[in-house]
Structure 1
């Protein structure tokens, strides 16, 4: 069955928009600004965790065409259940409220001076309306919101680069690629891949999308993933390079919190490229980008618990309401506070998510239950020092950090996970041959 161009474009735009939220817009420019002359290398690192891994996650969804539970069930059903619950709690407790906090701080408060509680209440009320009308999510986001977001982003990047002096400052980053990789964690894109990928699967099951056959959906999701990934790559690279090239023209007060540095830099770039109208453009951009991501997170969470409890529509509605109420409560915090809480959690859950994504796109013979279990256990064990270090318990893990390769870069899990994969694959091959 041929995939219609309209369905492909709508799904691609929707997927891009569900990925592209607050962190995706705010993080890259300051990363480029601090990287200076090394902006290209920091971009490479950022793309690994903010584009490549998430798109592989979408490919895994295309292969499985199930729920998030299917990602971890080969480890064990209990592990997968716990992992899913943790992921969805994190999603509605951190990245979803963060979208409201970013919208308030950058787009709403500066224009209207309203309180965070009012902004969050209105914001998540609108999110709830869209989530409860989920059959229209793909069409609305894919046809209308995302093209508008992409056009404005390309205008800011294109005009910004064309009017830039193409001079960069001295790099303030010692390890550009590693810094880019870790900064990519904060976009939540890998977690977003396993959450919003499920939203795409469920949305494609609605009759108005006219995609029913397994192979047709697989092709559609894969192609949409590549298109969305290409879009993310272009936008991220553009934002990082603009941040680097405007480093000598826009002064960012180093005494400000990092979130305000990000906001001020992005505002400065928007004004430099589009004049005073840039402020308006920035406000609309952030509001739309954040809003579509929040919709994807809440819908994905509600979908999961609906499926977990006998496909109950009541559960879907109740879960969506709870997620939105939690968003209102946490959304009253400032962007910096939410990021501070997020970092330790990400250092523990992100490696597990990355490994699950990679294993789920591998051939069956390289991704048996034995291999799943061994690699996941190794990843969890070697991620614990990073987690403890992030919550100010570094003295307890310092001896391990000194001997584990890459541990000082918060990547101590990488080599052990790879070696475990190799060893467990050899063991699995031997077991198979002995049968």
Structure 2
């Protein structure tokens, strides 16, 4: 099997809506502090997905495998929550919205609710058709769509450095004093750390269908794919961050990073550039949605075999098309508190895959890690929703939105120290 194609496919699955819209806005707001903000962003938007894929490789294939030490219902709730968030509830519809706003709206004379609804039906209809035949994903995505995507994006990346539009501006908001931490949290928005657990499962399943059933070979393929995807994402984020930082005037009235990106491309390349950008964004979002719909449908078809994989592909695609008509800014706002609450649990699962070899009592260790990360992640989610959490405001890193980190680290250490119960000797 072509290892490079698997790597390209993995990169294409990750390169979606959040990857295109968050870095330019973060760079714009970070201004003179864009470098530490970018490093923080790369930690969560590149480092965590890389660790997630490696964790899946170490665990042997999927979120259900990682969570099998938990009570069955807890594992199902965690896995279902992650799949719903990165599938029909947030990530996939957001990708369709970004594709519409950046790949279609610039060419429409009167964009509105009707055109958005029509575009959603066509976009998710195409994604549904391609997801219905998962055996062809490596060929269609890895060998055809991704090289075109990389070529188009390479042009955009060079332009960002060669044609900066404005001087780098002053840092704004939280970027003035905590640029690294703010960038770290912005990386949550890409949802790629959650997606890595899902895409890892999808890739292992595709490898099995290609006849690669040995777990060692699967882990090797997934490891190489992870490195290719991480390198590709960094190649995308660095120029987009710089583009945002050098758009201090151009981005002044922009509401999203997508608007900054579109305006920059128009300034540098004119209408031809806007066409190019529309192609890049549409391809990027389409490949991501195909991967998300496939992975979600695969998981839920195992829970409910009577509906089947293809039945869930249709259901997920229809649900995505409906949610995509909510509106981009509204969808992003709703997703932030949910992500702040769920991300810590996903990070605990990833950490468990790396430390489980040090645990004598894996079941108790994992229950402790998931319980602590879930509880403190819930506090962060409530805070992000604008509700009062003064009763936990004394927690370390509370103000930064990472109250979960130190308690989860402590739970991990304690989990490694818990000993397996000794059998009672008969007298």
Question: Shorter-chain TM-score: what band?
Answer: over 0.9
Tell me if the contact between 1:160 and 1:272 (Cα under 8 Å) persists in the aligned partners.
Answer: no
User: How much has 1:197 moved relative to structure 2?
Assistant: 1.4
Give the structure 2 partner of residue 326 of structure 1: 319
User: How much has 1:340 moved relative to structure 2?
Assistant: 1.1
C-alpha separation between the residues in 1 aligned to 2:231 and 2:330? 31
Give the structure 2 partner of residue 387 of structure 1: 381
User: How much has 1:274 moved relative to structure 2?
Assistant: 3.0
Give the structure 1 partner of residue 96 of structure 2: 100
Give the structure 2 partner of residue 222 of structure 1: 223
Give the structure 1 partner of residue 279 of structure 2: 284
User: How much has 1:434 moved relative to structure 2?
Assistant: 11
C-alpha separation between the residues in 1 aligned to 2:126 and 2:364? 45
User: How much has 1:351 moved relative to structure 2?
Assistant: 0.9
Per-residue CA distance 1:333-386 (angstroms, 9 max, x = gap): 211011011011101111111111121133522482221111111111112222
SS of structure 1 residue aligned to 2:368: helix
Give the structure 2 partner of residue 241 of structure 1: 242
Q: Are 2:413 and 1:419 aligned? A: no
TM-score, reference length from structure 2: 0.92
Tell me if the contact between 2:106 and 2:274 (Cα under 8 Å) persists in the aligned partners.
Answer: no
User: How much has 1:433 moved relative to structure 2?
Assistant: 12
C-alpha separation between the residues in 2 aligned to 1:92 and 1:370? 32
SS of structure 2 residue aligned to 1:276: helix
Tell me if the contact between 2:51 and 2:350 (Cα under 8 Å) persists in the aligned partners.
Answer: yes
C-alpha separation between the residues in 1 aligned to 2:181 and 2:424? 42
User: How much has 1:285 moved relative to structure 2?
Assistant: 1.1
Tell me if the contact between 1:386 and 1:407 (Cα under 8 Å) persists in the aligned partners.
Answer: yes
CA RMSD, 1 decimal: 2.1
User: How much has 1:89 moved relative to structure 2?
Assistant: 1.9
Give the structure 2 partner of residue 371 of structure 1: 365
C-alpha separation between the residues in 2 aligned to 1:27 and 1:291? 18
- For 1:185, which of 179, 184, 188 is the aligned residue? 188
User: How much has 1:432 moved relative to structure 2?
Assistant: 7.6
| Structure 2 residues not aligned, in runs of 5+ | none
Aligned length: 416
TM-score, reference length from structure 1: 0.91
Q: Are 2:115 and 1:115 aligned? A: yes
Pair 1:166–1:9, CA change in 2 (3 A): farther
C-alpha separation between the residues in 2 aligned to 1:378 and 1:352? 9
Give the structure 2 partner of residue 202 of structure 1: 205
Give the structure 2 partner of residue 143 of structure 1: 143
Give the structure 1 partner of residue 55 of structure 2: 60
User: How much has 1:100 moved relative to structure 2?
Assistant: 1.2
C-alpha separation between the residues in 2 aligned to 1:23 and 1:434? 55
| Structure 1 residues not aligned, in runs of 5+ | none
Tell me if the contact between 2:356 and 2:362 (Cα under 8 Å) persists in the aligned partners.
Answer: no
